[in-house]
Amino acid sequence: MKSMEEMIKAAQQAAETIQKQMTETQGKLDAIEVEGKAGGGLVTIRCTAKGRVIAVTLDDSLMQASEKQMAEDLIAAAFNDARAKADQVSNEEMARVQGGLGLPPGFKIPGLG
């Protein structure tokens, strides 16, 4: 049987491994891009799986003063679409890492979220 000291050391090493893998996954999420669209593609927003907006693209037809309100609404809709996709990718990546570590789904590691 292992001593208490050996078990504590093993637990600390496991925690360090988990911390490293979670940090790596968080970095990976900022490199994964998703795209949200609204208005049949009139507005497109690209963002990372962490939700950082990279680009907003507006169709030229929305550049009229009479279309201002529609453009604003479509930008919000496209952002929400991109954010939902980013959340989905993020959740899938975190579940994959946690599953590989034998952690229960939704387990929160202090300091990582």
Give a yes or no: residue 29 inside a domain.
Answer: no
Give a yes or no: residue 55 inside a domain.
Answer: yes
| Contact call for residues 18 and 103 (beta carbons, < 8 A) | yes
Kindly give, in sequence order, each residue whose CB lies less than 8 Å from that of residue 33, ignoring residues fewer than 6 positions away.
46, 47, 48, 49, 54
Predicted TM-score (pTM) of the model is: 0.60
User: Total structural domains in the chain?
Assistant: 1
Give a yes or no: residue 89 inside a domain.
Answer: yes
Domain span holding position 56: 34-102
Give a yes or no: residue 110 inside a domain.
Answer: no
Looking at residue 39, which CATH number applies to its domain? 3.30.1310.10
Tens of pLDDT, residues 100-113: 666 665 666 555 55
Tens of pLDDT, residues 11-62: 888 888 888 888 888 888 888 899 999 999 999 999 988 888 889 999 999 8
| Contact call for residues 58 and 52 (beta carbons, < 8 A) | no
Give a yes or no: residue 68 inside a domain.
Answer: yes
